[in-house]
Structure 1
Amino acid sequence: MATKLHFTNTTQSAFYATVRQRTDAYFTTRSLSRHANSAMWRKTIGLLLSFAGLYLLILLGSFNGWGLLGLAALLGACSALIGFNICHDAIHGAFSANKRVNHAFSLLFHLIGANPYVWNLTHNVVHHTYTNIAGHDEDLEVAPGLIRLSAEEPQHPWHRYQQWYAFPLYGLASLSWVLRKDYVKFFQRTIGQYAPPAHPRKEYWNLFGYKALYYLLFLVVPYLVLPLTWWQLLVGFLTLHLVMGLVLGLVFQLAHVVEGTVFPVPDETGDLQEAWAIHQLRTTANFAPRSLLAGFLCGGLNRQIEHHLFPRVCHIHYPALSRIVKQTAHEFALPYLENTSFWSALRSHYRVLYQFGRST
């Protein structure tokens, strides 16, 4: 039977109580909703129109092979941005106070090849609860056996080179979602050490039905409409997912697998000697916090500290919340980890890969 983890240090709960009180006051005194504002809606409409436009350009435009390949790459990047900015918030219940609106936008996850129900289990439930805990946090299992992201994992000779080959492997992340991972996680008895309840019957239909729809839209229809051979279509499909996967993989890794973040190990009874909120501060890092472009493109995931503490708040509010969280963390003498730019975070991630590839 899997050991259930417990965050046992209740003496640290004052930090979270204080930061929640200050966050509540921020929204209340300004009469602001925690959910999407007009800027968020404009971004949402713009991303969806871009996605539809790129898809139609591929099918109906008069482009040669290289032109189609470029459009496929752009569609992959746009798919990642929709995942970050719209679906991620919606599945967390952060996009809108209306559950139906959140559900509607979560369905867009199917259009980028992923299953929102499985994502909720692996990400919302498991990752957000057991962040950076080997054997529990599924996000550490990027490529089991090939990439080592924890000292608790077995070490193999090829890990000495993982700082080089990890990045191309990240490009396979979305392809794995589309073809393998969602199916595997859906039928596993446990996800990490978490045993999900019996899946509702409709989710079986959703898994197979929406996957079939995705294959129809992105494989069958292009093959029927475009004057392409099967291998040309395959190259375009792979290009879309390599770009999408690389963007997804880098953004998520730069938030948790960088210098300064920790990988806690529970004791034999499953106890972790700290409060849940403190655990989030120690296992999560922001990057490029002052970059408007990073904030816009990443859907606030460059500010993952705020996201992990307040996952039900729309990311459009994270810049304001970060000032509150950072000040409160410093008052309580707690870490607030951040890399000043995307490139500094990337270099830090490289060094952590190097370290885990050699350390025992």
Structure 2
Amino acid sequence: MDLSERIARLRKSWRPGHVLLVIPLALIVVITVVDILAPEDIRLGPLLVIAPAITASFAGPLSTAVIGILAVAGQAYIGLHFGLLTSRGVLVQIAAIAVLSALVVFYCLMRERHGQELARVRSVAEAAQQILLWPLPDRIGPLRVASLYLAAEDEALIGGDLYAATRTGGGTHVMIGDVRGKGLAAVGEAALLLGAFREAAHQHTSLPALAAALERSVGRYQADFEPEGEAGERFVTALLLEIPDHDPIIRMTSCGHPAPLLLSPGHSVSVPSLHPAPPLGVGGTGQTGYTVDVFTFEEGDTLLLYTDGIIEARSREGVFYPFAERAARWTDSSPETLLRHLRRDLLAHAGGYLGDDAAVIAIHRAPAGNSGIHHGKAARPDSSPHGPGGTGPSREC
């Protein structure tokens, strides 16, 4: 092994915390020297315990133990220098530094074990997130897509908010939803709804039929697993979308979920006017109880789907996050850039902490030449088929 390889391995094994070890080592040397040079009535040896104490803040138990041993050795050297090594006072000081150093090392061991457990928990959460919330692809047909999920619970990566997208025939079906409650307690119901959507979207061609199928799935889940004390209090808000590949429209069915934002080039933001049905799990309405609202969705437009954790985020002064106003700043950005700006701006507004899970999906209809699929001539919006209860495309605010 040549010198360059040895230096490369040394750099790889060297950690930033190793450089900081100079600080406790310097403290041991300085305190020992000053104690020896100071007048007899001034004793600084007990301060040597500071060295292992500060080492624990950036190093592991082994490095902390070494620094503790050196601190004990420093106190012993001071006693030896003055010929008092076997005196009761010096022995007590040495024992005190040794005991305190051992306690600090024990703290480091517990902290390291807790860190390993936390790392395992986070790895499980990451695996669960990959299973439940499959990452949305960057492109789905003519659409460019980006998604963002922010869990409210500490150390959690998933919670009660959910989203999914799937290709069905000549279009794309998308769902975004919010299970009542937050954190890991809502994960089971979110998992059920995601699985039901991915299956039912290929079996039901209309949004009302899809919504009715999801209502049945949620109802069966609640009948089997809903706690007795929460009967009738568990529900899911959901927004279902159908986006045809070749028609510049979008169909939506809302089950108690907030309407999305429609962003157009030039900082234009509008809010489609929906006719929401009750949330899933409140009580089935049948297919005729769900309305399909149809709106134009042209090339260059971006649709922002979100959960209420976004609009209910508060600042320290109690001000709600002005979602539409802030989103208008980045209407000309790509979906990835748009969500990156929104994430940074949202966390800054909320002081880095959200009181509820939050999810956002940005769906951009790319120009025909950039869609990655072949486009024919788009049909007139008013000639496209609508589901039961549908209306003509509009651009309502």
TM-score over 0.5 (shorter chain): no
More helix by share: 1
Tell me the TM-score normalised to structure 1 length.
0.23
The higher radius of gyration belongs to: 2
